[in-house]
Amino acid sequence: MKNLVSVYTILLLVLLLSACSKDFLNKKSLTEFSSEDEWGDPALTATYINGIYNELPAGPAMNAGNVDESRSRDADGLNFNNMVITQDDGEYGGWSGAYSAIRHCNVALENLSKASFDPTPVDGVSLKDRMLGEVHFLRAYLYFRLTNYYGGVPIITNVYGLDDDFKIEQSTYADCINFIVSDLDSAANLLPLIQSGDNDGRATKGAALALKSRVLLYAASDLHNPEKNGSVINGFSRPELLGYTEGDARARWQAAKDAAKAVIDLGIYELYKPSPASAEEATQNYSDLFTSTKSVEDIFVKYSSASTGGGYNGWNIAPNGWYGNGGVGAINELVDAYEMADGSKFSRSNPAQAAQPYSNRDPRLAATVLFEGNKYRQRPADLTIYDPVGVGQFGSWEKWDNSANEKYVVYGLDTRNSIANSWNGNECGATMLKFLNKSVDIQKSFQDLTIRWIRYGEVLLNYAEACIELGEDAEARTYINMIRKRSFMPDVTESGTALMEHYRNERRIEMAYEDQRFFDVRRWMIGPEAYHDVHGVQIVYALNPDHTTATVPTVTPIVIRPGKWDNKAYFFPITRSEMNKNDKLVQLPGY
């Protein structure tokens, strides 16, 4: 009888619990989310998409050390710049990381198509359309980066399961570009002109159109033009992977021009402070553009704020004389590319210019490069006695010791013989100043940093280049000179080949350290011009005959690193591990 009572008691308890909460056993975990939760909740969906944004490569001076802009303080990039590039050296173009991010895009697109969100427009578009537009943009961005390194790559739009066949061939370069442009057209049709409030920084219609401008400009360039790229593709069995094999080159340039003009015609972007009153003001404006949080020139950016636990550690690029790492040097080839203030070319063979190589130059030089005597900020407290002003000290001072009746040398604070972290001294004799906020003490805090993936200045240059290729020199000069006016530089006046040469140098200077030069060298097929032994400078304040020290240094270019070019480096190898996983892949020429 006692056991029967126990059974009745248990049954009663179960019935009571069931009556109180019929879905007791169906309660969702408060710490785990299902796929239905993620794609049914706008906040969780936004978090997923935020993760894809964070997979985009970002940072100051990306690829600068792998082209004729920079060399690090150590031997980084030595093998690469000497063409020691093989399929076993790791991923030069981020193949696996890009495809991981592309998979995330495909997952998002598949699930967003079935999602139901509040249709109320924000910034003129629904939430679902905005999210779809962002993911189309992000996928296009990732595929474009891949084509820049590898030419035609496998186009994957579905989400693979564990039982699927992962092997897929590379698509032709033309098909990849068409796919990327299609994604960008979709993005432009779905995205708002602006993203306001907390959405600021997400892709916009302008970002999609501006990236399309870059994509079509690159695609029209010599590297992918069958009339120009014979030296690269000769003997390669699959030339369609590296560029176009048919079609009208002029039509491709017209498409690039039209794409850039579409951004211009939006009328919502402009150059930052386009009309300086002096060279000094131009220097300040150009410097401020890259240390400001926002500007009217911004099209697609990534914000990083120190106040929210992010920001950028300026220690990475500040010189050792500020107890920095000196990670981005300015090689002399870059410094010499800056024109004189009157628009003439700088020349080391000109005695007056060689004697004072940093004087009377393009105002952007002083905003981009910390060279000898150029101002950065106050030194750390223990070093102000050696430099109370806070200027670059990359030289050495020859002095006379009267008591010992002999010469001795005092080395600058930013040299490899410095009293301050000499091991971090850069060999170039100059370092990158662009992106460094002069008001931030790198020893005490990170700085806010806005990475400008795409800005309006580039769009104007894209338009000008397409115009030159189409023979529309007058139109090209108009847009090049907008950039030069902002830099307080005289107008370009050339035509034809001379205009193209001037334009290319202008692009090099305006976009220095912005991850453009690396790809420009390749698409223009000027590898031999950029890859060779590179120079830093030796800076000496010489001892005069009267035993005083010269106040103006002698600046002499010296070879600091070897370098050479091989045509295989116009594209990069697919790693052996990827080739082993997918026997349908075709390795690129030279590897």
Closest CA to 317 of 302, 329, 304: 329
Token readout for 178 is 């068409």
Token readout for 187 is 């993005």
Compute the Cα dihedral for 169, 175, 180, 183 and give only its sign.
Answer: negative
Q: 14 or 199, which is more confident? A: 199
pLDDT of residue 235: 87
SS3 111: helix
pLDDT of residue 19: 44
pLDDT of residue 2: 41
How many beta carbons lie within 10 A of that of residue 29, not counting itself? 8
Average pLDDT of the segment spanning 421-434? 96
In angstroms, how far apart are the furthest CA atoms of the chain? Answer: 121
Q: How confident is the model at residue 165 (pLDDT cuts 50, 70, 90)?
A: confident
d(C-alpha 265, C-alpha 568), whole Å: 39
Average pLDDT of the segment spanning 340-358? 97
**pLDDT above 80: residue 36:** no
d(C-alpha 557, C-alpha 347), whole Å: 12
**pLDDT above 50: residue 22:** no
Question: Quick one: which H or E segment has residue 496?
Answer: helix 496-510
Closest CA to 291 of 71, 440, 464, 105: 440
**pLDDT above 90: residue 73:** no
Least confident of 309-313, 390-394, 446-450, 482-486: 309-313
Arithmetic mean of pLDDT over the chain: 92
**pLDDT above 90: residue 535:** yes
**Bridge partner residues of 450 (DSSP):** 303
**pLDDT above 60: residue 5:** no
Tell me the per-residue pLDDT of 266-286, one tens digit each, with 9 for 90 and over. Answer: 999 999 999 999 999 999 999
What CATH fold (topology level) applies to the domain 36-58+88-266+570-581?
1.25.40
Least confident of 93-97, 138-142, 144-148, 492-496: 93-97
Average pLDDT of the segment spanning 408-421? 97
How many beta carbons lie within 10 A of that of residue 193, not counting itself? 13
Evaluate whether 442 touches 323 at the Cβ level (below 8 Å). yes
Q: How confident is the model at residue 161 (pLDDT cuts 50, 70, 90)?
A: confident
Question: Which residues have C-beta within 8 Å of that of residue 494, sequence separation ≥ 6?
Answer: 501, 502
Compute the Cα dihedral for 124, 126, 131, 132 and give only its sign.
Answer: negative
**pLDDT above 50: residue 164:** yes
**Bridge partner residues of 125 (DSSP):** 122
Q: How far is CA 390 from CA 282, 322, 370, 586, in A?
A: 21, 9, 11, 54
Listed by start position, the domains of the chain span 36-58+88-266+570-581, 314-442+535-561
For β-strands 298-304 and 396-401, DSSP reports them as: unpaired
Closest CA to 82 of 496, 551, 562: 562
d(C-alpha 4, C-alpha 57), whole Å: 70
Tell me the per-residue pLDDT of 230-266, one tens digit each, with 9 for 90 and over. Answer: 999 888 999 999 999 999 999 999 999 999 999 999 9
Residues above pLDDT 70, as percent of the chain: 93
Q: How far is CA 565 from CA 58, 225, 266, 275, in A?
A: 27, 21, 41, 40
Q: How confident is the model at residue 91 (pLDDT cuts 50, 70, 90)?
A: confident
Q: How confident is the model at residue 17 (pLDDT cuts 50, 70, 90)?
A: very low
pLDDT of residue 470: 98
**pLDDT above 50: residue 6:** no
Tell me the per-residue pLDDT of 485-504, one tens digit each, with 9 for 90 and over. Answer: 999 999 999 999 999 999 99
**pLDDT above 90: residue 66:** yes
d(C-alpha 591, C-alpha 478), whole Å: 43
DSSP at 403: T
Query: Torsion angle of alpha carbons 480, 251, 471, 270, nearest 10°?
Result: -20
Give the residue ranges of DSSP H helices in 223-378. Answer: 230-233, 249-264, 279-291, 332-337, 351-355, 363-368
pLDDT of residue 24: 35
d(C-alpha 513, C-alpha 458), whole Å: 13
Q: 462 or 73, which is more confident? A: 462
**pLDDT above 90: residue 25:** no
Q: How confident is the model at residue 21 (pLDDT cuts 50, 70, 90)?
A: very low
**pLDDT above 50: residue 314:** yes
